[in-house]
Chains A and B, each alone.
Chain A
Amino acid sequence: MAETVKLLGTKGSPYSHRAEVALRLKEVNFEFLHEDLAHKSDMLLRYNPIHKKIPVLVHEEKSIVESLIVVEYVHEAFNGYAILPSDPYERAMARFWARYIDEKVIPAFWMSCWTDGEMQKGFIGQAKEALTILESQLKGKKFFGGDSIGFVDLAAGMVAFWFGILQEVAGISLLNEEDYPVLCRWADDYCSVEAVKESLLDRKLLVAHFASKKEKIFATKAPVYD
């Protein structure tokens, strides 16, 4: 029987990762369709005509796009694991922190890696502040979601796995154990969760990928796929 749930994504994308982990947490049977972002498939263009990006979740022929929207959909459409909290205020907080990660943490960190001189100093300052604020949210918990991973942990997946890789390739040390002991401990715990482990690419492969594209990314400040 053909799977009614398909995920169009790539293993190298932290956004695709969010969607994949959500499906794994819910133990949904899904087919992972790997997209070559240098040569986007007709299927991708059909299911996400406006943005033409991954991840795209296809459920019974309907498409859901934008990683955090996909995660909320998976939480609402499938039974089982609670990705978002049941309390409305806790849910609002989770949504706030996911937004904070997307709007403050990730852009500042990304630009810290791919700029230099005074510009880089500026971005590093912003990234440090954002990471400090994010770390403070852990407040002695194992995960942002409490005892088990939740919406904010998935949103922060890029921090847990990709940040270390990016900074290594860029030659900076921003997210390190000395400055962010709690966040680094969280990152290890996050990457050890079964549903997360199953969806992560081998670290060496990702390092090699970013290293090979380093100059192009530095020039464009954007991911490079070809």
Chain B
Amino acid sequence: MGETLKLFGWKVSPYSHRAEVALRLKGLKYEFIHEDLANKSDMLIRYNPILKKIPVLLHGDTPIVESQVIVEYIDEVFDGHPILPKDPYERAEARFWARFIDEKVRPQVWMSCWTDGETQKSFIAQAKESLAILQGRLEGKKFFGGDSIGLIDIMACSLALWFGVMQEVVGLNLLNEDDYPELCRWGEEYRNAEAVKECLPERELIVGFFAPRKDRIFAKKAPVYD
């Protein structure tokens, strides 16, 4: 044992954050290699030739890609803080909510920010419904994982920081304390958790990414890196 860990990532990306927070929850030492997504490194392309995306976890010489796949790998290989539950049903339940976040919440909130008119109204309505459903899952607990951070919390990280910044940049008020008091309370708990604090990007970094690219992202409905 004792193979090196390297994480190819980008601080502005919540996907990169997911992988990083999992490493920190396990108390692991790793090297963070910052990728410029407008000029992807040869190493990134070598280790993720199919998708050419971050994050990429390099464990020794072995690359693992896709943020949730990386998080589950870290949980299965390393001892310490359990990220997924042990019980098969609870694991299935955690994976269900991870998927709900990535397939419903995230795309709907994203499109709510980057569309207008009737299209935007429709996305906002969908996002509101999904956020309410997700909030219901908290059931008054500190984290989705109970007393400590688990898979669902990690997968929901955008809601703790990134969405707030993005909606401010575009002038939307979707995720707010009046409408989602529990989710906002959870967001604060998440941001203040030790392992998270150590690797959360500064707000200004995220603003610095979105603000100057606002029009181009609006046109493309997708991130623009250059």
A residues touching B (Cβ–Cβ < 8 Å)?
Answer: 50, 59, 62, 64-66, 69-70, 72-73, 76-77, 88-89, 91-92, 95-96, 99-100, 133
Question: Which 6 pairs show the lowest CB-CB distances between chains A and B?
Answer: A76-B88, A77-B88, A73-B92, A92-B73, A88-B76, A64-B92
B4 → A minimal CB distance (Å) = 15
* A133 nearest in chain B by CB position: B50
| A66, A73, A96, A100: the one within 8 Å of B99 (CB) | A66
| Contact A73 B88, beta carbon cutoff 8 Å | yes
Which residues of chain B are near A95, meaning CB under 8 Å?
A: 66, 68-69, 72
Roughly how many angstroms separate A73 CA and B50 CA in the complex, as a whole number?
28
47-68 of chain B: CB within 8 A of chain A: 50, 59, 62, 64-66, 68
B164 → A minimal CB distance (Å) = 25
Given contacts A64-B89, A77-B88, A99-B69, contact A92 B64 (CB under 8 A): yes
| Contact A89 B73, beta carbon cutoff 8 Å | yes
| Contact A69 B69, beta carbon cutoff 8 Å | no
Can you list 22 A-B pairs with a CB-CB distance of less than 8 A? A62-B89, A64-B93, A64-B96, A66-B95, A66-B99, A69-B95, A69-B96, A72-B92, A73-B88, A76-B88, A76-B91, A88-B76, A89-B73, A91-B73, A91-B76, A92-B70, A92-B72, A92-B73, A96-B65, A96-B69, A99-B66, A99-B69
Given contacts A66-B95, A96-B66, 6 further A-B contacts (CB under 8 A): A66-B96, A88-B76, A89-B64, A92-B69, A92-B73, A133-B50
Roughly how many angstroms separate A96 CA and B95 CA in the complex, as a whole number?
15
